[in-house]
């Protein structure tokens, strides 16, 4: 699947998330922390340009965010 302009889908492992909120701060259109559980979820289409996706992956302290490479 060609996502165009190097867009990649991101995913959150909710078991690892420690609720730091860095993903939501960096990419508010893609990540949202639940007000109650303080766990991050992907919202919308969950697509980011690869370089920005990698930045969020690297900044997440819990290493809960990954680039969900699509298997075809």
Partner 1 sequence: MGPCAATDPTNVTEPSLYLQGIPHDRFARLRARPDLAWHPYESDGFWAVSRHADVRHVSRNPELFSSAIGHTNLWDLEADALEARRSLIDTDAPDHTRLRRLVARAFTPKNIRRWESTVRAIAAELLDEFTAQGGGDWVDMVAAPLPIQVILTMLGVPTEDAAYLVELSNYLVEGTGDAQSIPPDAFGNTTDLRLLPFNSPASHALFEYGEGMRQRRRVDPQDDLVSHLVQAESEGEQISRSEYRNMFHLLVFAGNETTRTAISHGAMALAANPHEWQRVLDDPALIDSATEEILRWATPVMHMRRTATADTELAGTSIAKGDKVVMWYASANRDEAVFEDPFRFDAGRANRDHFAFGGGGPHLCLGAFLARLEVAVLLEEMAKRSIWLEQTSDPQRARSNFVHGVLSVDMRPKRAP
Shortest Å, Cβ 68 to partner 1 = 20
Q: Are 62 and 17 in contact (CB under 8 A)?
A: yes
7 vs 33, which CB is nearer to partner 1? 33
Q: Give the residue with the Cβ less far from partner 1, 50 or 59.
A: 59
Distance CA 36, CA 8 (A): 28
Hey, how many other C-beta atoms are within 10 angstroms of the C-beta on 32? 17
Burial class of 41 by CB neighbour count within 10 A (0 to 12, 13 to 18, 19+)? middle
Nearer Cβ to partner 1 (7/39)? 39
Q: Which residues bind partner 1 (CB under 8 A)?
A: 15-22, 24-25, 33, 35, 37-39, 58-59, 61-63
Shortest distance, position 36 Cβ to partner 1, whole Å: 8
């Amino acid at each position: 699947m060609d996502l165009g302009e190097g867009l990649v889908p991101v995913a959150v492992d909710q078991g690892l998330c420690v609720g730091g909120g860095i993903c939501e701060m960096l990419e508010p259109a893609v990540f949202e922390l639940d007000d109650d559980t303080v766990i991050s979820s992907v919202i919308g289409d969950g697509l980011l340009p690869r370089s920005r996706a990698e930045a969020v992956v690297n900044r997440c302290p819990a290493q809960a965010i990954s680039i969900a490479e699509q298997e075809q």
